[in-house]
Amino acid sequence: MVELIPHPQISGAQLQTLFDYRLNRIRSEMVRQGVSLCILTNPISLRYAINFDEYQIFQSHIPTCYLFLPVEGPLIMHGATSHSLPHVTEYRRPNFLTPFDGGLNLTANCEQFSQSVMDLIQDNHLGDTGCTIALERVTPLATQALTDRNMRVIDAECVIESAKLIKSSTEIECIKHSISVAEYGIHLMHQNLQPGVTENQLWSVLHQVNIAHGGDWIEGHMLASGPRTNPWLQEATHRQIEKGDMVAFDTDMIGPMGYMADISRSWVCGGGSGNREQRAAYQHAYDEIHTNIELIKPGISFKELSDKAYSRQPQYKAQRYVCSFHGAGLSDEYPKIYYGEDWQQSGYDGIIEENMVLCVESYSGAKGGIEGVKLEEMVRVTHNGYERLSSYPFEEELLKKR
């Protein structure tokens, strides 16, 4: 049985302040973007808006529930089992917008849905015509039904991502607790790393620790060993780990209160200084994340971070990770800051601000090689730089020059 680590004491008043802060962030962003009504279906958005935590994985692919969040006026939740969600004043049965719930012809349901939106707009005096609705991912028939009623529909995810960008002090404490849970799980994984254990067995330790502490889920099965560490993004299997194998993982853990712990480490099974390829890849990944962390400060642009980022050695460029920095909170969040090689196709600019939380990443594995190393740290942007949030030790033996 997994022992529990202490949970920070967060009072009811602190939680209410947290919920108020998050709702105010959404509504401020709605005002900024000229949005009268947000309709939320994404379980992470619902968690942020009203602390909704029911059947979240199910909700992510069969959105049975949805929230009406007007820029002013009462919040109406459709389909929730719990009737004690913060800031929600009314609970209704939903108009089902998926084939699982509503059958293969959703036209009538979408018409009823759009009528309920019109009724809310009129009841709250949000503007009877030409109203801007921010809608999250749902059947395009629902979008069409709204536009047929002369409503302008935009993507609510852009509103929510902007709202989530700046963390409150209580959010930072929640993130720190999720990191503590993850690092406890990482410690137990490290203890259980021995020849003969399978990748899935080792990975399951982190799941058990997360669930035991009231965490939500883990986004993937990102643990690989031996030759499966190169290239990266090969998820865990029943492969038995052998002595001397490199073992690399990325937690991607949605922990207690829904907050993410996104940490990567790489170890040699059996310990020691590893082989030459392992040491070279580890040193490169270590140097990359530590160099890039030092660049973080408020006011620097995404493009500047990309331009000034660690100059990767040629043998590791082809299999670079998908980004060098990204935001984190209730999940991976905006922004995603790309390598210079990818900027022209995928990059977008913005400004780093105080109390953003960033993950700093490196995957280092030579194309055609056997070994790969994944390292990642989490930091909070402070008024004059950064604060490290993750603290699990690195492998000093792998950093010895030989």
Q: Based on the domain organization, do 44 and 190 belong to the same domain?
A: no
For the sheet containing 217-218, what is the strand order?
Answer: 217-218, 253-254, 260-261
Tell me whether residue 5 is in a domain.
no
Q: Based on the domain organization, do 134 and 224 belong to the same domain?
A: no
The bridge status of strand 325-328 relative to strand 332-337 is: antiparallel
Angle between helices 43-50 and 156-164 (to 10 degrees): 50
Residue the block writes with tokens 């990102």: 222
We report the CATH number of the domain holding residue 109 as 3.40.350.10
Please state the rounded mean pLDDT for residues 309-335: 97
Percent of the chain predicted with pLDDT > 70: 99
Tell me whether residue 270 is in a domain.
yes
Residue 254 parent element (H or E): strand 253-254
Angle between helices 12-33 and 43-50 (to 10 degrees): 120
Q: Based on the domain organization, do 187 and 140 belong to the same domain?
A: no
Residue 133: which of 110, 149, 156 has the closest Cα?
Answer: 156
Give the pLDDT score at 401. 65
Give the pLDDT score at 142. 96
Q: Based on the domain organization, do 35 and 68 belong to the same domain?
A: yes
Query: Would you call the peptide bond into 231 cis, given omega within 30 degrees of 0 as the criterion?
Result: yes
Give the pLDDT score at 319. 97
Q: Which of 113, 140, 164 is the last residue of a domain?
A: 164
96-139 per-position pLDDT tens digit: 999 999 999 999 999 999 999 999 999 888 875 568 999 999 99
Task: Give all strands (DSSP E) within 4-65, no chain letters.
Answer: 37-40
Residue 40 pLDDT exceeds 80? yes
Tell me whether residue 4 is in a domain.
no
Q: What average pLDDT does the structure give for the chain?
A: 96
Please state the rounded mean pLDDT for residues 283-311: 98
Percent of the chain predicted with pLDDT > 90: 94
Partners of 67 in beta bridges: 40, 77
For the sheet containing 152-155, what is the strand order?
Answer: 88-92, 75-78, 66-70, 37-40, 132-135, 152-155
Q: How far is CA 388 from CA 3, 118, 228, in A?
A: 26, 47, 30
Q: Based on the domain organization, do 80 and 216 belong to the same domain?
A: no
57-94 per-position pLDDT tens digit: 999 999 999 999 999 999 999 999 999 999 999 999 99
Looking at the 3D structure of the chain, how many domains does it have?
2
- Choice among 9-13, 168-172, 188-192 with the minimum mean pLDDT: 9-13
Q: Based on the domain organization, do 138 and 258 belong to the same domain?
A: no
User: What is the torsional sign of CA 113, 114, 117, 123?
Assistant: negative
User: What is the torsional sign of CA 306, 307, 313, 318?
Assistant: positive
Residue 402 pLDDT exceeds 80? no
Tell me whether residue 1 is in a domain.
no
Q: Based on the domain organization, do 24 and 158 belong to the same domain?
A: yes
Contact yes or no for 268/398 (Cβ under 8 A): yes
Angle between helices 169-192 and 12-33 (to 10 degrees): 110
Kindly report the three-state secondary structure assignment for every residue of 160-211: HHHHHCCCCHHHHHHHHHHHHHHHHHHHHHHHHCCCCCEHHHHHHHHHHHHH
Q: Which of 131, 164, 197 is the last residue of a domain?
A: 164
Partners of 325 in beta bridges: 337, 360
Alpha helices in 199-275 (DSSP H): 199-212
Q: Based on the domain organization, do 95 and 206 belong to the same domain?
A: no
Please state the rounded mean pLDDT for residues 181-199: 98
Q: Distance from first CA to last CA of the chain, Å, rounded?
A: 42
Tell me whether residue 313 is in a domain.
yes
Give the pLDDT score at 201. 98
20-38 per-position pLDDT tens digit: 999 999 999 999 999 999 9
Q: Based on the domain organization, do 160 and 175 belong to the same domain?
A: no
Tell me whether residue 7 is in a domain.
no
Please state the rounded mean pLDDT for residues 169-185: 97
Which residues have CB under 8 Å from 104's CB, separation 6+?
Answer: none
Tell me whether residue 3 is in a domain.
no
Give the pLDDT score at 308. 98
Tell me whether residue 286 is in a domain.
yes
Give the pLDDT score at 6. 86
Residue 293 pLDDT exceeds 70? yes
Give the pLDDT score at 125. 81
Contact yes or no for 152/133 (Cβ under 8 A): yes
Quote the tokens at residue 57: 């994985």
Please state the rounded mean pLDDT for residues 228-257: 98
Q: Based on the domain organization, do 235 and 106 belong to the same domain?
A: no
Q: What share of the chain is helix, strand, coil (3-state, %, to 5)?
A: 40, 20, 40
User: Within 13 Å of residue 372, how many CA atoms lie on the same side as its CB?
Assistant: 29
Q: Which of 141, 164, 187 is the last residue of a domain?
A: 164
Q: Based on the domain organization, do 208 and 134 belong to the same domain?
A: no
Query: Would you call the peptide bond into 195 cis, given omega within 30 degrees of 0 as the criterion?
Result: no
We report the CATH number of the domain holding residue 188 as 3.90.230.10
Q: Based on the domain organization, do 339 and 200 belong to the same domain?
A: yes
Q: What is the extent of the structural domain holding 252?
A: 169-399
Quote the tokens at residue 359: 């993950």
12-24 per-position pLDDT tens digit: 899 999 999 999 9
166 pLDDT band (50/70/90 cuts)?
Answer: very high
Residue 203: which of 213, 195, 193, 214 has the closest Cα?
Answer: 193
Residue 176 pLDDT exceeds 70? yes
